[in-house]
Structure 1
Amino acid sequence: MDLELSDDQRMLQDSVQRLVAEHYDLDARRAAMREPRGWSPAMWSAITDLGLTMLPFLHEQGGLGLGGVETMIVGEAFGRGLVVEPYLPSIVLAGTAIRECATPAQTERWLPGLMSGGMIATFADCGSVAARQEGHDWLLDGEARMVLGGDSANLLLIPAGVHLFAVPALAGGVERRGYRLHGGGTAADLRLSSVRVPDTDRLAGNGSTSRAIEAGIAWLAAEATGAMQAALDLTVDYLKTREQFGKTIGTNQALQHRAAEMLVEAEQARSAAMYAALLADEPDEHIRATGHAAVKAVIGKAGRFVAHNAVQLHGGIGVSEEHAISHYFRRLTAIGMILGDSESQLGRLAALGGFTGASPHFAAA
């Protein structure tokens, strides 16, 4: 099977890598994190100008109609650059939920603002919210924890039982407590008290919100792959240049073996990210569920191994704020926890009957 990128995909890869390389060094990342919203409006504008916010949406919805492989390309480049802008919550999670679950009329209402970058949305799946109908409206009560990008979002997509509601962030009865995340980016805890939502804001399409979580896992796998490769490259360069007792520490065979083990784990994560990208067009819900659970378990384990060893091989400088390795360590640690850690995903995989992909589905290749 040919897994080489097409010419168009390589052009996309070059464009995104150039964007990150030219606009997103470590100082720029620190500056973005100091912004009031925890990310840079200028960088977000550059991302939208390149058309990346239109990437996963269908042509008939005004998007570019690209798929999982293209999203993987963007995620890997963002992971290498440690980009903190809200692409995951707004475009991947909320965008997928709207694409899959909204009616055509609702799509026309929300997607243009999302694709233009003028509206930031998020998917508040981590909580317990109850909905009760009152006439032509719904009343929402409950809370959601660690909603990615929830502090700066304009639109909140909130699951409540079998329903999914689009709630303006400034709606009456919505309280949110925002905070910065360990590995970059922001989140918020939400409390909803009799939040009134018209029935026209209930996403009534036939899609499933599980698609949003799957898209999020695929994005995190790609982002982790980029971050792991960057951390490995920095570590190998350090081993080649750091001298101790009159020779570079990279001549130590034990450290060479450690770097080789990091490479193996990074390549396993890359394979998992590719598999997640190919699952985007898989129609079988069970195959998608088991596949994404396995992917998330793999990237959590691999990311933890690469991050820990990168810090150890750098020594004390690896935990300093001034060195990029500490930032990769924190982001990979965070990725391992977002949307379920390795242990919970392995439990989910077992409950689903195990990973049955002895002959994986690669029809999307």
Structure 2
Amino acid sequence: MDLELSDDQRMLKDSVDRLIAEQYDLDQRRGYMIQPDGWSAEMWKSFAELGLTMLPFSEEQGGLGLGGVETMIVAEAFGRGLVVEPYLPSIVLAGTAISEAGTPDQQAGLLPGIMTGETIASLVTDSAITARRDGGDWVLDGTAKVVLGGDCASLLVVPAGEDLFVVTSDVAGLECRGYRLHGGGTAADLAMNGVKVPEKSRLGGNGAGARAVEAGIAWLAGEALGAMQAALDLTVDYLKTREQFGKPIGVNQSLQHRAAEMLVEVEQARSAAMYAALLADEQDEHVRAAGYAAIKVVIGKAGRFIAQYAVQLHGGIGVSEEHLVSHYFRRLTAIGILLGDTESQIARLAKLGGFTGPEPHFAAA
């Protein structure tokens, strides 16, 4: 699959690539990760000033009205830089859920803060939370695990039954245990005990949670591509420069074959990321569900292959904290698990009848 970028898309790519190259080397990233929230407020401000936090929202909502391809461009750059700021939980997941499920008044009240970066939001994707009526309000009870960005979010979008509810982080009855994630970023486990939510904070449902997860998978596909390409580039450079017995180890034909296999996996992931970007406009829910499940399988398998062999070809230095390739290994491992691991997505795809369905489908591409 080939994707020719427009002039505006190339300008976006150049701007984001330049920012990440200048502000996100390994030492700078370490400095961001030891800050109180686990990420840099200054970098988050830079993303907002560049318009990245407004990118996926429609012009009617006050955003830039750009699409899946532009989001993929940003995700790929963030994957290459191993960015730890909460773009996925706040902009992609929670932002999509509110955009899909909220009324115009709810969107007008919630989205501006998210788009400017002043409000950090998070979508609960793995929960056992129930909702019950209490007069004119709702009461939420239950638990949620691995809520991305949940430890620093001031706004939580919580699924319960068929509906989504907006909950502020300081509401009575909400307990939050935050922690750092293996591949960078933060998350939280939540416990809700009699959390009261007014009717005006009920967003409704209409499949918004599923659309948000699909947007998240599309983002992870782009991010994984950036990390895989960077890990491959590091590995090829190492094979060219690391000498043994007086010559570069890259002259070993078996190592060349392994690097070539890594390149094939990267290109498969690239096609999956492009398809994920284009699939966002597909109106058939079944086609989208099957497509995103297949995409998650592809990036999960490719990410595992790239991460493991990048470390193997580097040798012992590949697992050291001081070498960048070990950080790509961690992030690609985490991406393989987030929003459904490979095994669960294969099972989901099988239940949906497979990727292609009874008739070939080409509309999304």
Equivalent position amino acid for 1:93 in 2? L
In structure 2, the CA distance between the partners of 1:161 and 1:16, relative to structure 1 (3 Å rule), is same
- What is the aligned-residue identity percentage? 72
The equivalent of 1:275 in structure 2 is 275
Q: CA contact under 8 A between 1:278 and 1:362: conserved in structure 2?
A: no
**Aligned-residue offset at 1:291:** 0.1
Residue 325 of structure 1 pairs with residue 316 of structure 2? no
Q: String of CA shifts for 1:157-198, please: whole Å, max 9, x gaps.
A: 000010100000111000010000000000000000000000
Q: String of CA shifts for 1:39-91, please: whole Å, max 9, x gaps.
A: 00010000000000000001010000011111000000000000000000000
Deviates more, 1:353-362 or 1:99-108: 353-362
Give the Cα–Cα distance (whole angstroms) in 2 for the partners of residues 88 and 216 of structure 1: 7
Question: TM-score, with normalisation over the residues of structure 2?
Answer: 0.98
**Aligned-residue offset at 1:106:** 0.5
**Aligned-residue offset at 1:360:** 4.0
Equivalent position amino acid for 1:343 in 2? E
Q: CA contact under 8 A between 2:231 and 2:325: conserved in structure 1?
A: yes
The equivalent of 1:309 in structure 2 is 309
**Aligned-residue offset at 1:205:** 6.5
Q: CA contact under 8 A between 1:282 and 1:361: conserved in structure 2?
A: no
Equivalent position amino acid for 2:156 in 1? L
The equivalent of 1:95 in structure 2 is 95
Q: CA contact under 8 A between 1:103 and 1:205: conserved in structure 2?
A: no
The equivalent of 2:362 in structure 1 is 361
The equivalent of 1:242 in structure 2 is 242
The equivalent of 2:142 in structure 1 is 142
The equivalent of 1:210 in structure 2 is 210
The equivalent of 1:291 in structure 2 is 291
Equivalent position amino acid for 1:116 in 2? T
The equivalent of 2:105 in structure 1 is 105
Give the Cα–Cα distance (whole angstroms) in 2 for the partners of residues 101 and 244 of structure 1: 59
Moved over 2 A (4+): 204-208, 357-363
What SS is found at the alignment partner of 1:316? helix
Give the Cα–Cα distance (whole angstroms) in 1 for the partners of residues 140 and 38 of structure 2: 28
**Aligned-residue offset at 1:96:** 0.3
Give the Cα–Cα distance (whole angstroms) in 1 for the partners of residues 361 and 73 of structure 2: 21
Give the Cα–Cα distance (whole angstroms) in 2 for the partners of residues 161 and 206 of structure 1: 12
Q: CA contact under 8 A between 2:229 and 2:266: conserved in structure 1?
A: yes
Q: CA contact under 8 A between 2:217 and 2:296: conserved in structure 1?
A: yes
The equivalent of 1:171 in structure 2 is 171
Give the Cα–Cα distance (whole angstroms) in 1 for the partners of residues 43 and 99 of structure 2: 25
Give the Cα–Cα distance (whole angstroms) in 1 for the partners of residues 331 and 206 of structure 2: 35
Q: How many residues align?
A: 364
Give the Cα–Cα distance (whole angstroms) in 2 for the partners of residues 10 and 117 of structure 1: 24
Question: TM-score, with normalisation over the residues of structure 1?
Answer: 0.98
In structure 2, the CA distance between the partners of 1:126 and 1:206, relative to structure 1 (3 Å rule), is closer
Q: CA contact under 8 A between 1:156 and 1:168: conserved in structure 2?
A: yes
The equivalent of 1:36 in structure 2 is 36
Q: CA contact under 8 A between 1:240 and 1:250: conserved in structure 2?
A: yes
Q: String of CA shifts for 1:315-337, please: whole Å, max 9, x gaps.
A: 00000000000000000000000
What SS is found at the alignment partner of 2:118? coil
What SS is found at the alignment partner of 1:118? coil
Give the Cα–Cα distance (whole angstroms) in 2 for the partners of residues 9 and 80 of structure 1: 18
Deviates more, 1:226-235 or 1:207-216: 207-216
Give the Cα–Cα distance (whole angstroms) in 1 for the partners of residues 206 and 300 of structure 2: 32
**Aligned-residue offset at 1:207:** 5.3
Give the Cα–Cα distance (whole angstroms) in 1 for the partners of residues 102 and 125 of structure 2: 16
What SS is found at the alignment partner of 1:203? strand
Q: CA contact under 8 A between 2:319 and 2:326: conserved in structure 1?
A: yes
Residue 24 of structure 1 pairs with residue 31 of structure 2? no
Equivalent position amino acid for 1:327 in 2? H
Matches within 5 A, 1:65-144: 65-144=65-144
**Aligned-residue offset at 1:208:** 2.4
Give the Cα–Cα distance (whole angstroms) in 1 for the partners of residues 268 and 61 of structure 2: 35
**Aligned-residue offset at 1:238:** 0.3
